[in-house]
């Protein structure tokens, strides 16, 4: 039993763990009503508008060495989504007190106005290769699922479309979790077998 567990542990450490230290982490947008930037992901859902958006191009990435978050996100029919009620007035990253899709929080980063790569068009807007450097505390909040994108318009000053930033599990992470589960099952099986015999 000890030898089997040791071999499994050694395999995980030598074959799986190195890939877990990758510097680039992928993120998706999600919310209480579905994936992407959505009007009904707002909390509460806005009364006007049916705008949607989501990842475009290279999507959303976070470099855990440089702490740079890169956004490629769009909205409106020009990006294959639905149009907003009007041009974007402001856009932000907010931080909620927890990872619930129904939690609201204050603004921590302004992503509108003169932010490089930002386009406020209601029909073809978004962020193209927009990069922001997160503080240590902000990076922890990102990893914890506390951050969300919120896009505001005149008709919806509290937010027209929203999406929480959710890390995408890498295949190697899932493989490691599966191997750990198999290892735990083998150990439990052998313990049970030893007790019976």
> pLDDT: is 24 or 10 the higher one?
24
Cα 54 to Cα 164: distance, rounded to the nearest angstrom? 11
Output the average pLDDT for the chain: 83
Q: Name the residue ranges covered by the structural domains of the chain.
A: 1-22+170-186, 23-168
* Position with higher pLDDT, 60 vs 170: 60
Q: What is the mean pLDDT of residues 13-18?
A: 40
> For 97, left (φ over 0), alpha (ψ -120 to 50), or beta?
alpha
Residue 92 has pLDDT above 50, yes or no: yes
Question: What's residue 170's pLDDT?
Answer: 64
Question: What pLDDT band is residue 23 in, cutting at 50, 70 and 90?
Answer: confident
Confidence check: pLDDT of 15 > 80: no
pLDDT at 179: 47
> What mean pLDDT is predicted for residues 97-104?
97
C-alpha pair distances (Å), 45 with each of 38, 154, 179 = 9, 16, 41
E-assigned strand segments in the chain: 24-31, 34-35, 37-38, 52-55, 60-63, 68-75, 88-95, 106-110, 118-119, 125-133, 147-153, 161-167
Per-residue pLDDT tens for 104-124?
999 999 999 999 999 999 999
């Amino acid at each position: 039993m000890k030898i089997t567990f040791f071999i499994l542990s050694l395999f995980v450490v030598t074959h799986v763990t190195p890939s877990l230290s990758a510097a680039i982490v992928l993120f998706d947008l999600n919310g209480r009503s579905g994936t992407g930037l959505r009007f009904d992901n707002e909390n509460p859902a806005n009364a006007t508008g049916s705008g949607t958006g989501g990842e475009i191009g290279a999507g959303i990435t976070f470099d855990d060495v440089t702490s740079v978050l890169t956004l490629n996100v769009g909205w409106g029919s020009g990006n294959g989504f639905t149009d907003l009620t009007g041009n974007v007035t402001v856009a932000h990253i907010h931080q909620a007190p927890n990872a619930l899709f129904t939690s609201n929080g204050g603004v921590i980063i302004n992503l509108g106005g003169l932010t490089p790569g930002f386009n406020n068009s209601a029909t073809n807007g978004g962020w193209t290769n927009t990069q922001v450097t997160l503080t240590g505390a902000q990076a922890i909040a990102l990893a914890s699922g506390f951050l969300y994108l919120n896009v505001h318009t005149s008709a919806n000053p509290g937010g027209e479309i929203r999406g929480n930033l959710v890390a995408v599990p890498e295949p190697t992470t899932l493989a490691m979790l599966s191997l750990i589960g198999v290892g735990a099952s083998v150990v439990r099986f052998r313990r049970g077998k030893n007790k019976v015999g």
